[in-house]
Amino acid sequence: MVRHLAAVVMAAGLGTRMRSSTPKHMHTLLGRRVVDWVLAAVDGLAPEQVVVVVSPGTEDAYEGVEVAVQREPRGTGDAVAAARPALADGDTSVLVVSGDSPLLTADVLGELVAVHERDRADATVLSFEPERPLPYGRVVRGRDGSLEAIVEDRDATPEQRAIRELNSSIYVFRAAALWPALEAIDADNVQGELYLTDAVGGIVAAGGKGAVYLCEDELAPMGVNTRADLAFAAAVLRDRINEEHMLVGVTIVDPATAWIEADVELEPDVVVHPFSVLRGRTRVAEGAQIGPHVVADDAAIGARAVVGPFCYLRPGTVLEAGAKAGTFVEIKNSRIGERSKVPHLSYIGDADIGEDTNVAAANVTANFGHRPGPKKRTAIGRNVKTGVDNTFVAPVTVADDAWIAPGTVVTDDVPEGALAGFAPRQVNKEGYVHRDRND
């Protein structure tokens, strides 16, 4: 019978090897913090409880989960013990996961829990065999293949260091075996810490059953400890995300240069060209073309819309179906109507543009003398034709079917069907270049 499942995510370490004032669990990868990737994998198992163990002062960084504080950095065993008061009593399996393992998946954790339940184990460790040596604890097995002990790298003998099977620091315990084992461990080791691995050894030494799940994916248990690890994990997650999109009908021309965050939604037949970055909750509808060299952040891109190259869509941008945001265009907090075009070299901010409008080159919407508070908006109607080098000073409205002359600064509303503008006409000063400037 499957026991109730609780999960403990260890996120109290500061990660000094990151050389950062930000704890390693809080660094971002593809739109999520490192620990958020771990929590997403844990949530895939639908545990009855999730407790995140944190260091003092970081309690407010988590929503939707219970938090326990490890008051002093006394090791992994002490971190898990800090979660005990928050966990329900009873015949519970306790999944313990390191919060710095963003490549974990729900499938891997599910297999671990399944092995633990199948073998009716008291302690089960997720192990892996990487191609390159890593300073991780070694998994020592008995003659029958069962778990005998876990020896930390710094405490291992030369013979133990030759073992290729490594500890991932991811476990499942029977709660009734875990808590007494934690109470029995001491800090008699090189680091002077309370090792969770010693609790595993104590359970086995007391006659409890130890099991091992050898994970075939050597990347899944990988921890992030340095900036180099962070970059490596980001590339792996990028490839996973891109593959998922491609398998459901998205064309990504060069997956190695397309960075698409986890919460981005792409519909079938979207094409993403090289060197494009899609962030936040960007939504791209069927048949849209993105890039190359596009950045879209919390933008909504309609069906068959065209974006790029070298276009920046900032938060609040909405491109309706068939709209175009072209080369060297920046749009922020604005709606571009169906089939309307902002082809090149323009900035559109805090604006609403109707259908079938063409915005000529070098157009800018501006808030003159803006004060704190919401910015004023520019409204440009349907079927409007603007001229080259127009500036629209909000609040201002250009009605349907209007035209704007080149070089115009629009400060007053433009009526429907009107032609507005005409900056001062050109003046030629004959002979000016060769004139004696001392006259």
Residues 403 and 279 in one domain: yes
pLDDT on residue 37: 97
Q: What is the pLDDT of residues 265-274, one digit of tens each?
A: 999 999 999 9
> Which residues form the catalytic set?
344
Query: CATH number for the domain including 11?
Result: 3.90.550.10
Q: Are residue 176 and residue 257 in the same domain, yes or no?
A: no
Note whether 6 and 97 are within 8 A (CB): no
Residue 132: what pLDDT? 83
Q: Tell whether 256 is covered by a domain.
A: yes
pLDDT of residue 357: 98
Q: What was the pLDDT predicted at 303?
A: 98
Check whether residue 91 and residue 23 sit in a common domain.
yes
Number of other CB atoms surrounding residue 287 within 10 Å: 17
Q: What is the mean pLDDT of residues 63-74?
A: 89
Closest CA to 90 of 200, 183, 179: 179
Say how far apart CA 6 and CA 14 lie, in whole Å.
Answer: 24
pTM equals 0.89
Is 237 a member of any domain?
no
Is residue 343 in a domain?
yes
> What is residue 300's predicted lDDT score, i.e. its pLDDT?
98
436 part of a folded domain: no
- What string of DSSP letters covers 50-70? EEEEE-TT-GGG--SSEEEE-
Asked, for residue 129, whether it belongs to a domain, the answer is yes
> Based on the domain organization, do 43 and 136 belong to the same domain?
yes
Query: Computed over its alpha carbons, how large is the radius of gyration of the chain?
Result: 30
Instruction: Give the domain-ending residue among 198, 214, 230.
Output: 214
pLDDT digits (tens, 9 = 90+) for 19-29: 888 888 999 99
- Provide the residue count of the chain: 439
Domain identity same for 23 and 123: yes
Task: Give the residue with greater pLDDT, 297 vs 159.
Answer: 297
Higher-pLDDT residue of 91, 238: 238
Do 206 and 353 fall within a single domain? no
CATH of the domain at 352: 2.160.10.10
- In this structure, the answer to whether residues 161 and 92 fall within a common structural domain is yes
| Average confidence score pLDDT of the chain | 93
pLDDT beyond 70 at 179: yes
Asked if residue 433 belongs to a domain, the reply is: no
In this predicted structure, what is the pLDDT of residue 439?
54
| pLDDT classification of 131: cutoffs 50, 70, 90 | confident
Looking at 214, 234, 256, the residue that finishes a domain is 214
Give the pairing of strands 28-29 and 32-33: antiparallel
Same domain, 260 and 176: no
Is 175 part of any domain? yes
Per-residue pLDDT tens digits for 208-242: 999 999 999 999 999 898 999 999 999 999 999 99
Give the pLDDT band of residue 350 (cuts 50, 70, 90).
very high
For 262, other C-beta atoms within 10 Å of its C-beta total 16
Read off the pLDDT of each residue in 327-332 and give the average, rounded to a whole number: 98
CB burial of 58-96 (b: ≥16 within 10 Å; e: otherwise) equals: beeebeeeebbebeeebbbbbbbbbbbebbeeeebbbbb
Residue after which a domain boundary falls, among 214, 235, 253: 214
Same domain flag for 64 and 200: yes
- Mean pLDDT of the 343-360 span: 97
Whether residue 232 is contained in a domain is answered as: no
Range of the domain at 135: 4-214
Domain count, the chain: 2
Q: CA 128, CA 305: separation in Å to the nearest integer?
A: 46
Task: Provide, rounded to the nearest whole percent, the portion of the chain with pLDDT above 90.
Answer: 74
What is the tens place of the pLDDT at every residue in 24-61?
899 999 999 999 999 999 999 999 999 999 999 888 88
Q: Does residue 1 surpass a pLDDT of 60?
A: no
How far apart CA 371 and CA 379 sit, in angstroms, is 20
So what's the pLDDT on residue 189? 72
Q: Does residue 165 share a domain with residue 69?
A: yes
* Domain co-membership, 389 together with 330: yes
**What pLDDT score was predicted for residue 438?**
63
Same domain for 172 and 296: no
